[in-house]
Structure 1
């Protein structure tokens, strides 16, 4: 299944489609874990008698566990293989989702979200590592983009489904829905997904070699460029996700169903971005694709900031700029997530884990800032997304352009 040529063919082989479906299901756990339950946040706050800060912690706890969990799962996946990690992590995610649906107070819900985050990290780490197991970096970006188109469909349906389920049955039903989705992913992995690692690394968990590998990865300019891009673009998206339910529903007055539709439109833009990404990869290569997408990200972020600072407090002043930002995100993520593991075929799990930790840590601190900055207007959210768009453009136009094209085969 290893690809030896660049992304010259636009037609996926049957084996590629299996991997793309697996990527969509595994990486799709992120929007399922966030977008689907976002409409439930106001209900959680009310029913459990929680403060705004405590309610926001249900998102922050998931993200923090997601970040640290990757540092564990990455070396474990290099040592024991991809399938064992997937089966264990998805099973833990399923059980923790059911536990979340029965949480009696906000502290219990936060605890289950920690387990969810740690379990989700195993699935996401393996998804990125599988791409490097099977493909050279340039082809891996095409397959990652194909998988992320599937992720876009999941992201598209998650907020709408979450809004409908929450509106009909209450916030607990959102976690039951998550559990059913995870069960589907677990069955697909168990029945259809083969082991992808070619050679397990028996020294992956030894402290000395582990620290040496981490140090080498963290010094690699290609890793730093792509991981910086993915962290910056996801940071802006996470700010929007973590603050959008309060801004759209409490500041701008949307219902849970209307809020779900608003998030769906952002997912449509993201899905369109992944489709355009595959075309740009063929025509312009990874760095050319990112260069073009960074301009769109910047336009979206700065226009949202300018409208908010001008006092325009309407749905369209948030929604339209976010569509542009999400479109750019559809190029940055597949290129970045395949790019970070490109130089490391023997340590793909570790490289994936470190990149994921940087991404999660960035989003966590941005989310903590936003939780204290929300002031009943759209300004904090808009300014945060605007700052993230500037970071995306700077990294995409500098570090990615200089170091984003490693040799197809490196140590």
Structure 2
């Protein structure tokens, strides 16, 4: 509009973090330069950045699901039993759980890029150590270190989204990240099965080394620092412990976390035991196993889609109850078939798919129920919940590994147990508290 005579419409205020708008007043010169780099690099439609964020959050699923078909081959290569091979999964989950408590505060204190570089360096070294491991003990140790690095991708990737994008844009980006978390378990075992069948078990870890190298290059060349105001108190032990103490004291938080832990423990029981049941027990090739595992994962993807729609109609708690019912039915059906001596692809995959379908309803809603009441401690709530979820699943997975005898019975018992924990926690803690 011209400047003469007519009233000039007020200009829309610039949106920080968008399209190179000026840095806020008071920033030091170096920080102002970083701010400009950030707003230019993180344009809303920046495909390289969106792709990098997807890679970062996919580290966890890729690092477990890609090598699942290789577990029996690993056990045979080192002359170990299935329990020792499954420890490579449980130890990874334990390392992931421990790192969850550390990466968030560290990145708040020192910035996103330094912590990512350090974590990815550890991940690359550990992936190479996995591929070259001379013994089962060395592989287990390398898997623990690999988890410490992989966890940073999931934790810091989401933090970067919060740093950079406006709420409506963040929701769009988060949807891409959720898709990556769902798609990785579907395609990972298929790719891992082909790699194992064609090149041997080491190929899965070589692929993870390539995956990590691509992410490292992306952080180096694409990602500027997004956390411009580091918090010196973020890693203060008293502050961290105070937040965790407040969360543990909340009964509702404990109830929802038990739902999440039971659901994920059931999923992990299938993750840790299914390759031995289907490959060693039924004689499937690793590439064939990949397709069977993906069939169960499709149950979770379908449940997540249906659960999202159900939440708008039923609310969080009714949707959780519905998901828990599917989980318990799937677990008990699988256990009943195993006790009856029925052992086939369908008797293993179909009950697991039903459990996974229910988890798609229960897990996201229980996660939201645990975190939503604590907006000022959302990071701490997410970290503590993730730690307890992963630690519980790792413990149950280790038990399955030690007691599994090549059949599906112990695995199905663990899946049913996870479903039962979720049902009891929701009915006896969350629902009872809501009605009181």
TM-score by length of 1: 0.84
Structure 2 residue corresponding to 1:380, chosen from 399, 410, 416: 410
Q: 1:356 to 1:308 in 2, by over 3 A?
A: same
Q: 1:200 Cα deviation (Å)?
A: 4.2
Q: 1:346 to 1:17 in 2, by over 3 A?
A: farther
Q: 1:269 Cα deviation (Å)?
A: 1.6
Structure 2 residue corresponding to 1:391, chosen from 421, 424, 427: 421
Q: Secondary structure of 1:265's partner? A: helix
What residue number does 2:300 align with? Answer: 270
Is 1:153 aligned to residue 183 of structure 2?
Answer: yes
What is the CA–CA distance in structure 2 between the aligned matches of 1:388 and 1:132, rounded to whole Å?
32
Contact 2:83 2:404 in 1 (8 A): no
Pick which of 184-193 and 323-332 moved more.
184-193
Q: 1:21 Cα deviation (Å)?
A: 6.0
Q: 1:341 Cα deviation (Å)?
A: 3.8
Is 1:76 aligned to residue 106 of structure 2?
Answer: yes
Pick which of 357-366 and 155-164 moved more.
357-366
Q: Secondary structure of 2:315's partner? A: helix
Is 1:173 aligned to residue 203 of structure 2?
Answer: yes
Structure 2 residue corresponding to 1:62, chosen from 88, 92, 96: 92
Q: 1:156 to 1:197 in 2, by over 3 A?
A: same
Q: 1:139 to 1:310 in 2, by over 3 A?
A: farther
What is the CA–CA distance in structure 1 between the aligned matches of 2:403 and 2:99, rounded to whole Å?
28
What residue number does 1:258 align with? Answer: 288
Q: 1:321 Cα deviation (Å)?
A: 0.8
Q: 1:23 to 1:301 in 2, by over 3 A?
A: farther
Equivalent residues in 2 for 1:188-227 (5 A)? 188-189=218-219, 200-227=230-257
Q: Which has the higher contact order (CA 8 A, sep 6+)?
A: 1
Q: How many residues align?
A: 394
Contact 1:144 1:334 in 2 (8 A): no
What residue number does 1:25 align with? Answer: 55
Q: Secondary structure of 1:104's partner? A: coil
Q: 1:43 to 1:345 in 2, by over 3 A?
A: same
Q: Deviations over 1:360-395 (max 9, x none)?
A: 210121122112211232111111101111122233
What is the CA–CA distance in structure 2 between the aligned matches of 1:192 and 1:284, rounded to whole Å?
42
Q: 1:82 to 1:226 in 2, by over 3 A?
A: farther
Contact 2:84 2:401 in 1 (8 A): no
Q: Secondary structure of 1:253's partner? A: coil
Q: 1:227 to 1:195 in 2, by over 3 A?
A: farther
Equivalent residues in 2 for 1:8-23 (5 A)? 14=44
Q: Deviations over 1:235-288 (max 9, x none)?
A: 011111111111111112211111111011112222222222332233333334
Contact 2:82 2:402 in 1 (8 A): no
What is the CA–CA distance in structure 1 between the aligned matches of 2:50 and 2:305, rounded to whole Å?
14
Equivalent residues in 2 for 1:5-404 (5 A)? 14=44, 24-127=54-157, 147-189=177-219, 200-397=230-427, 399-401=429-431
What is the CA–CA distance in structure 2 between the aligned matches of 1:177 and 1:344, rounded to whole Å?
39
Q: Deviations over 1:79-113 (max 9, x none)?
A: 23444333332332123112211112222212211
What is the CA–CA distance in structure 2 between the aligned matches of 1:289 and 1:134, rounded to whole Å?
32
The gaps in structure 2 that reach 5 residues or longer are: 1-14, 17-42
Q: 1:168 to 1:89 in 2, by over 3 A?
A: same
What is the CA–CA distance in structure 1 between the aligned matches of 2:50 and 2:303, rounded to whole Å?
17
Task: Find the structure with the greater CA-based Rg.
Answer: 2
Q: Secondary structure of 2:234's partner? A: coil
Q: 1:43 Cα deviation (Å)?
A: 1.5
Contact 2:59 2:151 in 1 (8 A): no
Q: Secondary structure of 2:297's partner? A: helix
Q: 1:168 Cα deviation (Å)?
A: 0.2
What is the CA–CA distance in structure 1 between the aligned matches of 2:140 and 2:383, rounded to whole Å?
23
Q: 1:295 to 1:326 in 2, by over 3 A?
A: same
What is the CA–CA distance in structure 2 between the aligned matches of 1:285 and 1:304, rounded to whole Å?
29
What is the CA–CA distance in structure 2 between the aligned matches of 1:136 and 1:258, rounded to whole Å?
44
Q: What's the Cα RMSD here?
A: 3.3
Q: 1:62 Cα deviation (Å)?
A: 1.3
Contact 1:78 1:201 in 2 (8 A): yes
What is the CA–CA distance in structure 2 between the aligned matches of 1:283 and 1:326, rounded to whole Å?
21
